[in-house]
Amino acid sequence: MLHSPASFLPTEDTAAEAARRALTPLATDMEDSQIRAVASQVWALQAQGAEVCNLTIGDFVPSQFPVPAAFMGRMVLEAQAGQTNYTPSDGLPELKAAIADQYARELGIDYGPGSVVVGAGARPLMWATYMAFLEPGDGFAYGVPSWNTQYYDYLFQCRGLVITGQPASRFLPTVEQVERVLPQARMLVLNSPLNPTGTAYRPEELEPVCRALLAENQRRERDGRKPVMMLYDQVYWTLTGPGFQHAHPLGLVPELAPYVIYLDAISKSLAATGLRVGWAVVPPHLHKAFKSVIGHMGGFAPRPEQRATAWYLSQPDLVAADREVMRGGVRERLGLLVETFEGFRSEGLPVEVIRPEGGIYLSVRFDLHGRRTPTGQRLDNNDDIRRFLLHEVGLAVVPFQAFGLTDDTGWFRISVGAADPIKVAAGLERVRGALRAM
């Protein structure tokens, strides 16, 4: 009798050792995203029927933030019309042209379609950027907290030049911090508006950073050394907060053109994280390398989505109208949270927020270290606070540690992409009750 293949697999006891022997050391030690680990605990609790106000997910639920109807309708039509084959590995010409036009119109970047590389969301382009510029041991400068950068630092075996964000500078890397690491860097990653903090660079903060990078690269050019490249991740640029205008490097220091890679996607701007269209806008002389990486990776965006994005972006009035609706929804939810937390603070409760400037996030500090919960448990670190809020208060938030910050100072990310204002209001009442009782 034949044994089934499953009977030849390692047992539960031997599985870890068998995996270690099969895998490379890099793959063995690769950590999974801590954000996902926190989110899965929440889902498990909800599956048991617990009432949890879930503010952990950097995504949108369609009941709160639907994908714009016109875009969705067009995508379905494209699929039904047989637009279902491969596309060129850097994207459909009509999409590259629509993105180039939007960048020229709204951001003043006038490189033309030869600068655009399309992929299945922002991530493949992020990967392509690191492949294009980083070698093992290279200096890789980035701020923490930030979204997943610490994992790329590990994956590309770089020498992380980690800039620790401070509340005083709204967790954004300052020019002084950047200047300190630039001499050893091969790449600098900036993200604005920033996930997880919901803060964004003002022109007067970003410009000196750009000037420092330019000065460093002018020195390197004279010495015949490789430049520092900048990845500017602006996937949230359309979701600026009230009174904020998106600041970006080439709008401030155009001489940086040969060194900046822009990263963008419809994932956040159209609440379309699962539809997978992203792009990089790169200096045209570097385009060929990006196209090859995306091609070999197979990281293309699906054709119906590309066709629909090209059609959609070519209609500035439609884009502007949908953007206003989405911004309104984000601002309503963030406004409710900010007002409530500021109210708690004026009551003397130990909470602090940084007013949001862009994206779908809010930085909140629960200053509960050393305090005891109503059941007598002492809270010694952010994870204790997170578990207390989740299990005893029914509020799910993500500690900044999940974004690479080691300082255990009570800061958390709140995301409003899945936030139903009625449930948020109820969740905040539970928080007020719990904080008063401590």
Ligand X SMILES: Cc1ncc(COP(=O)(O)O)c(C=O)c1O
| Residue 195 or 309 with smaller CB distance to ligand X | 195
Structure tokens at 94: 């009509």
CB nearer to ligand X: give 198 or 227: 198
- Nearest CB to ligand X, comparing residues 140 and 147: 147
Question: Which tokens belong to 366?
Answer: 């629960």
For residues 235 and 396, which CB has a smaller minimum distance to ligand X in the complex? 235
Give the separation between CA 184 and CA 293, rounded to whole angstroms. Answer: 26
Closer CB to ligand X, residue 193 or residue 329? 193
The least distance separating ligand X from the CB of residue 96, rounded to whole angstroms, comes to 17
Sorted by sequence, the CB contacts under 8 Å of residue 183 that are 6+ apart come out as 216
Residue 194 Cβ, how far from ligand X at the closest point, in Å?
7
CB of 193 to ligand X, least distance (A): 8
Residue 215 Cβ, how far from ligand X at the closest point, in Å?
27
Distance, C-alpha 232 to centroid of its chain: 12
Residue 259 near residue 229 (C-beta atoms within 8 A) = yes
Gyration radius (Cα) of the chain, Å? 23
If the CB atoms of residues 147 and 290 are measured against ligand X, the closer one turns out to be 147
Residue whose CB is less far from ligand X, 151 or 180: 151
Q: In which order are the strands placed within the sheet that holds 411-415?
A: 351-354, 361-366, 411-415, 398-399
CA-to-CA dists, residue 382 to 209, 252, 378, 413, 428, angstroms = 31, 38, 12, 12, 19
Contact residues: ligand X, CB under 6 A? 58, 121-123, 147, 191, 195, 233, 235, 265, 267, 273, 278
State the nearest-atom distance from the C-beta of 417 to ligand X, in Å. Answer: 10
Q: Whole-number minimum distance, CB 438 to ligand X, in Å?
A: 32
Q: Give me the residue label for tokens 């989405």.
A: 326
Nearer to ligand X by Cβ, of 139 and 198: the residue is 198
Residues 6+ apart with CB under 8 A from 320: none
SS3 content of the chain, % helix, strand, coil (to 5): 50, 15, 35
**Residue 150, token pair as written in the block:** 């610490």
Q: Which two tokens stand for residue 22?
A: 């099969």
| Residue whose CB is less far from ligand X, 56 or 191 | 191
Least CB distance to ligand X at residue 401 (A): 17
Distance CA 71, CA 98 (A): 14
Smallest separation, CB 276 to ligand X (Å):
7
Task: Tell me how far apart the alpha carbons of residues 228 and 259 are, in angstroms, rounded to a whole number.
Answer: 7
In whole angstroms, give the CA distance from residue 184 to residue 165.
19
Task: Name the nearest CA neighbour of 399 among 372, 369, 366, 374.
Answer: 366
Minimal CB distance residue for ligand X? 121
Listed in order, strand segments (DSSP E) in 183-321 are 187-191, 229-233, 260-265, 278-281
Tokens of residue 334, six digits: 């963030």
Instruction: Answer yes or no: are the C-beta atoms of 269 and 253 closer than 8 Å.
Output: no
CB of 265 to ligand X, least distance (A): 4
Q: Are 84 and 304 a contacting pair, CB within 8 Å?
A: yes
Would strands 187-191 and 116-119 be described as parallel, antiparallel, or unpaired? unpaired
Select 59 or 106, whichever has its Cβ closest to ligand X.
Answer: 59
Instruction: Give me the least distance between CB of 267 and ligand X, in Å please.
Output: 3
- Which stretches of 215-321 are assigned E, i.e. beta strand? 229-233, 260-265, 278-281
To the nearest whole angstrom, how small is the minimum distance from the Cβ of residue 373 to ligand X?
Answer: 32
Rounded CA separation 377/41 (Å): 20
Find residue 231's DSSP bridge partners.
189, 261
Nearest to ligand X of 313, 435 (CB atom): 313
